[in-house]
Amino acid sequence: MTDREDEITRAFIEAELPAVEEFCRRHGLGWTCDLERLRAELTLQGPDAQDGTMADYLATADLTGYRTLPPWWRMVDPRTKSEIGPAGPPNPTRTTFTSSIFHGSGVLCAPWNRGAYKQLGGPHDNWGDVTGWEQVRGTTIALTLGEMVDRIYRETQESRGRMGPLPELAR
Amino acid sequence: MADATTAARPEKPEKDDKQDITVTVFAPREPEPKTFSWNKHRTVGETAAEAAADFKYAAGTPTFVKDGKILDRSKQLVAAGVRDGDQLELTDVGGGV
């Protein structure tokens, strides 16, 4: 991306920050956004399947190219920020949402996640080109960072543990 | 002159038949909430769609969240437990994949 494109991206992000920060404040979520590196992190908790305690989750967002491109959301190891596949996201229950955004591969499957598009290595080739992400219909729609955080948060609250166990930390 | 048949009867308490409820709605795309008033027999889905339009959502499957519980879009507000003065949150329940 050019410097000019990065400046446009920063302007879009800055316009949306008050809403996502307020949402995170109301719900006790951790949110940081690095406008220089165009990265954001969302820390949240969801119910653990085993013992009723809360499990930690970390979602990172690569905001390069936003809004021409959707963010690249990843559910990563909350301890190391490494990508860990299915151990990253929560394991959703089929309660309110007809189907979950959390895929068995660990990818967050939504048109508002760049990483879900097959042209970029994800599982989906049914949404057209990634640059048309805002026009995709018939599935989850989230057109601002606040709405994306809202969906990740709601599904995490309805989850029961992680899809897979966290890997052991290297000594 | 009053007799047994016309003696004053105690007044029945007035039924609370307030039909409209006023709620505060928060949306994740705006930092400030908005206030709405709706007939309590309208559905969650209809009213959430109106709120979403007011918050400039383009499309989707909006519903409300009350006290952390996502409300059934097909239910009337009153049946879904929405009461005058409630604070609701707008969310989208469109399917994932």
pLDDT mean by block of 10 residues, chain A; 171 residues: 88 98 98 97 88 88 97 96 92 75 89 95 93 93 97 91 87 73
**Chain B nearest-CA residue for A123:** B97
Predicted complex ipTM: 0.90
pLDDT value of residue A99? 83
- Residues of chain B in contact with residue A19, where contact means CB-CB under 8 angstroms, are 27-31
- Residues of chain B in contact with residue A157, where contact means CB-CB under 8 angstroms, are 68
- Residues of chain B in contact with residue A149, where contact means CB-CB under 8 angstroms, are 28
- Residues of chain B in contact with residue A144, where contact means CB-CB under 8 angstroms, are 28-29
Range 19-78 of B in CB contact (< 8 A) with A: 26-31, 57-61, 65, 68, 70
Could you please report the per-residue DSSP string of B7-70?
SPPPPPPPP----EEEEEEE-TT-SS-EEEEEETTSBHHHHHHHHHHHTT--SS-EEEEETTEE
Instruction: Give per-residue pLDDT as tens, B23-66.
Output: 999 999 999 999 999 999 999 999 999 999 999 998 899 999 99
| Cβ–Cβ < 8 Å for A112, A70 | yes
Q: How far apart are CA B48 and CA B90, in angstroms?
A: 7
Three-state DSSP string of chain A: CCHHHHHHHHHHHHHHHHHHHHHHHHHCCEEEEECCCCEEEEEEEEECCCCCCEEEEEEEEECCCCCCCCCEEEEECCCCCCECHHHCCEEECCCCCCCCCECCCCCECCCCCHHHEHHHCCCECCCCCHHHHHHCCCCCCCCCHHHHHHHHHHHHHCEEEECCCCCCCCC
**Chain A nearest-CA residue for B65:** A154
| Cβ–Cβ < 8 Å for B68, B89 | no
The pTM of the full predicted model, rounded to 2 decimals, is 0.90
pLDDT value of residue A50? 67
Integer CA distances (angstroms), B42 to A97, B24, B27, in order: 22, 16, 20
Chain B closest-CA separation from residue A92 CA (Å): 11
pLDDT value of residue B14? 46
